Structure 1
């Protein structure tokens, strides 16, 4: 039977507020799992997929290198950007307007217990979405995320990924550059990887703006197919 995934499109939200909201959902799923095991209960664990757009912010994963942020506090303020060290995997990345960010909060025991497979399916979701726009997106060996021009001198990253998991419950997720201002990536060494460019869908298509609502619908379609899930739309909750 297909699992239900509650989809919440949060619109434009502050990064810290959204992180706190994610943590709340994450902890509630964990608490349900712990109760099931301690009390031999049979409570169903929910699954969520949050879509959001943030103001300019740089985030550094728990094992990341702070030196990959090329701005000091004063320069961050001038850029109108904030910075957080967070509890996902991966190094430094940027979120901002024109980027579609997705945070699946899933109990993987409802699907499969394999973090490697989880990340590969998230990549496949983006690869299939970009194929609908005529782009040949690919994985880059040894590097999580989705890329264009792999194996050429013009390799460029279009989607970053970083997740956290505990007791098979996930949080954090992906950031797909759709109509992003790529200048903000000049202030970091993205994901700690030197010598590789970053791109955005609107740049690749040579258009002024990509319809983000249409893109999000495509992302959700491929996610639900790959995870054999059914979406349940829920209105904004905070």
Structure 2
């Protein structure tokens, strides 16, 4: 059984979390290129939240950011063009953000399977709260009532893979202030909305409890053993 080390970063600036991912990726790729059989890639799951930030994927369209630079600064929102897949999205307080750094050669060597497994971990997490999360054909992520006029996205997913090692990941709207999505065209999709768990449940969700549920579902879906790092917080601060 593959092992994954869980590291909770608490609330961390987007760029700082990105730097951590890139460093873990660099180390993993170096180990894969090594002829030393003891240099095995350490799979990691980073859990965190970010202060307000918009991120644009490498295939995204800058015009989907509806704010000018001065408006971003005025409202205390950062912006980053990233190297992940997908278009533009929002990160902020009240989200579950998960960044798995996995060697996919140990998990089926398939980006498609990896994305579906990320979706499945979220779908099963939502199910524990009585929310029916589903997939929408042609789109990545998790949706509510996807085949209706009320289709709305509750979880965005965007990843990057290098030498079969993944970075970036998913953002599940838990107690998220959805007004921040009004300043972008989320994921470049103009005809569908966004939602959050607290909107669907009409009440605030215990985020630390939710994170534990997600970690358990991630463990089950990916069939891994998860160990918690001792040097970092295990709760969102």
Tell me whether the two structures share a fold, i.e. TM-score over 0.5: yes
Match for residue 75 of structure 2? 79
Alignment gaps of 5+ in structure 1: none
Seen in structure 2, the aligned counterparts of structure 1 residues 134 and 237 have a Cα distance that, compared at 3 Å, is: closer
Match of 2:148 among 127, 145, 152: 152
Q: 2:94 maps to what in 1?
A: 98
CA distance in 1, matches of 2:95, 2:32: 33
Residues matched between the structures, number: 233
Q: Is the 1:58–1:94 contact (alpha carbons within 8 Å) kept by the matching residues of 2?
A: yes
Which residue of the partner structure matches residue 113 of structure 1? 109
Identify the residue that residue 30 of structure 2 maps to in structure 1: 31
SS in 2 for 1:144: coil
Identify if the C-alpha distance between structure 1 residues 10 and 195 changes in structure 2 by more than 3 Å, giving closer, same or farther.
Answer: same
Is 1:226 matched with 2:230?
A: no
Q: Gaps (5+ residues) in structure 2?
A: none
**1:122-142 C-alpha deviation (Å, 9 max, x unpaired):** 000000000111111100100
> Contact conserved, 1:10 with 1:236, CA < 8 A, in 2?
no
Aligned equivalents of 1:89, 1:144: Cα separation in 2: 10
Verify the 8 A CA contact 1:163 1:172 in the aligned structure 2: yes
- Structure 1 residues 26-83: Cα deviation after superposition (integer angstroms, max 9, x where no partner): 1100100011xxx363422110000000000000001110000000111101221000
Cα deviation code 1:141-180 (max 9, x no counterpart)? 0000000011111110000000000111000000000000
Q: Does 1:217 align with 2:216?
A: no
Shift of 1:236: 4.6
3-state SS of 1:89 partner: coil
For normalisation by structure 1, the TM-score amounts to 0.96
Aligned to 2:6: 7
Q: 2-side partners of 1:41 and 1:105: how far apart?
A: 20
Q: Which secondary structure does the structure 1 equivalent of 2:15 belong to?
A: helix
